[in-house]
């Protein structure tokens, strides 16, 4: 919910980014979750994907905290990784 305010107010991106960044997150999450359905799960693989998603979320959080107005284009790249981390953690 706060991502749209962060993108517009702090990074001062275009108004279209308010909808585009969450859309990128949901699309990348959807694609990865479809790919994860085809995997034969066991306990070690489950732990590995969960740990990868957690590390990816922490990395994305750190990058978002360090973004400046001049590096706002990187938010589009980070949103792809946020979507991947969401899929890994929730699926």
The pLDDT-based confidence of 87 (bands split at 50, 70, 90) is very high
> Mind listing the pLDDT tens digit for each residue in 10-42?
888 888 888 899 999 999 999 999 999 988 888
On the CB side of 71, how many CA atoms lie within 13 Å of its CA?
Answer: 9
- The model scores a pTM over 0.85: yes
Residue boundaries of the structural domains of the chain = 1-90
Residue 4 has pLDDT above 90, yes or no: no
CB 50 within 8 A of CB 88: yes
What the block records as the tokens of 14 is: 């275009």
On the CB side of 38, how many CA atoms lie within 13 Å of its CA?
Answer: 4
């Amino acid at each position: 919910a706060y991502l749209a305010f962060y993108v517009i107010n702090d990074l001062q991106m275009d108004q279209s980014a308010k909808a585009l960044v969450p859309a990128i997150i949901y699309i990348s999450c959807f694609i990865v979750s479809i790919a994860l359905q085809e995997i034969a799960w066991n306990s070690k693989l489950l732990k590995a994907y969960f740990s990868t998603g957690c590390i990816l979320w922490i990395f994305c959080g750190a990058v978002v905290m360090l973004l400046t107005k001049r590096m706002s284009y990187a938010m589009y790249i980070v949103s792809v990784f946020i979507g991947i981390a969401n899929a890994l953690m929730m699926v």
